[in-house]
Structure 1
Amino acid sequence: MIAVLGECVADAFTTTHPSTSTDGRGGGGDRSGGGGYDGGRGGLGLRVLPGGGPANTAVALARLGTPARFLGRLSGDVFGGLFREHLAASGVDLSGCVEAAEPSTLAVAALDAGGGADYTFYAEGAADWQWSRDELAPARLGAATCLHTGSLALVRAPGRAAVEEFARAASRHATISVDPNVRPSLAAKGDYQVARWCSWADILRLSDDDLEFLLPGVSPEHACDTWHEAGARLVVVTRGAAGALVSLNGERATVPAPKVEVVDTVGAGDSFTAGLLHHLHAGGHLGGRLDGLDLETAVEAAAFAAHVAALTCSVPGANPPWPAQLTAPPAPHN
């Protein structure tokens, strides 16, 4: 089993509604269905989908067939219900979750022409960041051979210290994977203590945007060497359409990205991480310090991960593929 520790986020995508009337009467309608009266002002609609980097990774792992346990603080609000339904429907084990009194995190996403998302977060006082040491007792990990964490839960106070302590303790008997998933609007550069995390992490997966924020002007190869020296054995830098750089203790190779018509890139990095961990898990490489892993196997895992990520890019939102969808290349979006 792979355990994933982190946040769920309600991803809200905007849609615009034109004014229903120029005379302020909404075309003669009322407030009860059929579009309803809006005073002729139009408006902004939100389509809310379950998201959050760690939750996306847990969903993708479970859909691929790797037993996945999600360790999250799930609110009792309407978004918390959405998260539970989505995770459970994908086969994720929720027995390690905490019932939280605080509200869920909301992110409003604006998509650019290339399908990239720019998020505005509503996260103050949200359930995801309130972890305590009592809630993260070692037993919550269960029999997992790997723990994946990172993203906002590892950098947001007050819970970040408890999350890091839990991950450090888990590293004594499980492979640890970290994805910084940088969000500059919610955390400062100094909050991302990647070199310190590498002292207990075995796998570091980050995007080229993350790299530019964390180490501006530093080449990916030099950054990989820096994090290898800090302790991480496998570092993977994803580069969108340019593929990925795989670095195993300084041995390096590149993996191309499959060609796909991109609807949006929401959840692509999370799906890549899941594909990477799934492939390593299937090969029996998780549960220790990756001592038996060679570069060829790491590249094979990254190539599989790139295919999973491409399929996620071919559909709206963070909607990773099921195994039956892996037999064909990503379908173009009409």
Structure 2
Amino acid sequence: MPTIAVVGEVVADAVLPPDGIVDGAAHLAVHPGGGPANTAVALARLGSTARFAARISGGALGALCRAKLEASTVDLSASENAVEPATLAIARLDAGGAASYEFYTDGTADWAWTDASLAKLIDGPFGAQSPPVALHTGSLALALQPSGQVIENLLARARPAMTTSVDPNLRPLLVPVASYRLWIDRWAGLADILRLSEDDLDLLWPGWTPEQAATHLHACGVPLAVVSLGGDGAFASLRGEQVRVPIAPTTLVDTVGAGDSFHGGLLHFLAEGGYLGGRLETLTPAALTDALTFASRVSAINCSRAGANPPWASELG
């Protein structure tokens, strides 16, 4: 399988169920997570070569995250060992399994990238691997400084040689929505694939339809705009040619990592089909529909179990 490069944060997700506070104590289950890390895990488990650049803490939570990445066969050769603590997120579940988040990021490991330290992700050495056909990023690593500007520099440098993918994954409790509105057009100008969740769409452009958002993103330079619509499936527009797919059936446990797993499934399918490496010139609406359907199945399996836990290829039949 082609190599897909991923850069971004590794987060310990402390999941608090609706009945998780008992007798004055919070009963949390801590799962390895972080949007880009979850996407790298999904890619690797599906059979892609996922080359992940992360700054992984040497503390207990960092060790937990590293163990999951390694067990999922994620390539960590472009990652760094960090002395800072791991970033912590608390994912509070409602009665329906939907998660809301709060983050603890001050002084943590994920934000200290430099242009030089990230260069090896796309420049090699690659050993027996091939150079990446795509670079994926997003979430907090793209929104928080100083890492955000460094990753934008990397996207700009990578785009002539590979497909670039961005999942903004807005976190309004940590980053003001007004800031995302200032940045989104610039990020779109660096991306070949940009995926928004339904919540992202509502925050960025209240009242806009997915079709309106896609038209705007195409004008910024994005060939493929995708909007995940929760129970209503997914919408995508490929240079103005629009497709929709329904949600895949599942027994919902929680939604932690749902979008990240979806994005990993989408990138894996496109890589396997030979569509990545440029501006998606050979991708057709029919193939895109198949890719979205596959990604929806990947996300559905993730949502059927606790925490971000994307499926292995063998689980998709």
Q: TM-score range by the shorter chain?
A: over 0.9
Give the percent of matched residue pairs that are identical in Structure 1 and Structure 2.
52
Q: What is the match of residue 65 of structure 1? A: 47
The aligned residue for residue 27 of structure 1 is none
Q: Please tell me the residue identity of whatever aligns with 2:50.
A: A
* Aligned equivalent of 1:277, options 267, 286, 310: 267
Give the 3-state SS of the residue equivalent to 1:245 in structure 2.
Answer: strand
Cα 1:17–1:237, aligned 2, differ >3 Å: closer, same or farther? closer
State the partner residue of 2:116.
Answer: 134
Separation (CA, whole Å) in 1 of partners of 2:63 and 2:134: 27
Q: What code does the residue aligned with 1:12 have?
A: A
What do you get for the CA RMSD once the two structures are aligned? 1.3
- State the partner residue of 2:238: 248
1:175 deviation in Å?
0.3
Question: Structure 2 CA distance, aligned partners of 1:44 and 1:106?
Answer: 15
Q: Amino acid of the residue matched to residue 10 of structure 1?
A: A
Alignment partner of 1:79 is 2:61: yes
* Counterpart AA for 1:208: E
Deviations 1:43-102 (A, max 9, x none): 222221100000000000000001101111111111111111100000000000011122
Q: Is the 8 A contact 2:51 2:121 kept in 1?
A: no
Q: Which residue identity is paired with 1:316?
A: A
Aligned to 1:10: 12
Distance (Å, rounded) in 1 between the aligned partners of 2:16 and 2:289: 37
Partners of 2:52 and 2:244 lie apart in 1 by 31
Superposition deviation, residue 188 in structure 1? 1.6
Counterpart in 1 of 2:128? none
The 5 A counterparts of 1:185-264 are 185-192=173-180, 193-264=183-254
Gap regions ≥5 residues in structure 2: 125-130
Deviation at 1:130, TM superposition (A): 1.7
Task: Give, in whole Å, the separation in 2 of the partners of 1:102 and 1:18.
Answer: 32
Deviation >3 Å, runs of 4+: 15-19
Equivalent residue, structure 2, for 1:165: 153
Q: CA deviation at 1:237?
A: 0.4
1:289-324, Cα deviation, whole Å (9 max, x unpaired): 111111111111011000100111111110001112
Number of the residue aligned with 2:135? 147
Q: Is the 8 A contact 2:136 2:164 kept in 1?
A: yes
Pair member with larger Rg: 1
Other structure's SS at 1:134 match: helix
Size of the aligned set, in residue pairs, is: 304
Between the aligned partners of 1:232 and 1:181, the Cα distance in structure 2 is 17
Partner of 2:257: 267
Taking the aligned partners of 2:310 and 2:121, their CA distance within structure 1 comes to 26
Which structure: greater helix fraction?
2
**1:233 partner letter:** P
Contact 2:232 2:247 (C-alpha < 8 Å) held by counterparts: yes
TM-score, normalising length: structure 1: 0.88
What letter corresponds to residue 158 of structure 2 in structure 1? A
In the TM superposition, what is the alpha-carbon distance from 1:18 to its structure 2 partner? 4.9
Determine helix, strand or coil for the equivalent of 1:119.
strand
Q: Secondary structure at the match of 1:136?
A: helix
Counterparts in 2 of 1:19-168, with a 5 A limit?
A: 43-137=25-119, 139-141=120-122, 142=124, 143-168=131-156
Render the CA deviation track for 1:180-204: whole Å, top value 9, x for unaligned: 0110011122432121112221001
Q: 1:299 is paired with a residue of what secondary structure?
A: helix
Q: Distance in 2 between matches of 1:126 and 1:280?
A: 34
Moved more, 191-200 or 290-299: 191-200
Amino acid at match of 2:177: K
Contact 2:10 2:87 in 1 (8 A): yes
Deviates more, 1:304-313 or 1:9-18: 9-18
Q: Distance in 1 between matches of 2:21 and 2:68?
A: 28
Q: In the alignment, residue 7 of structure 1 is paired with which amino acid?
A: E
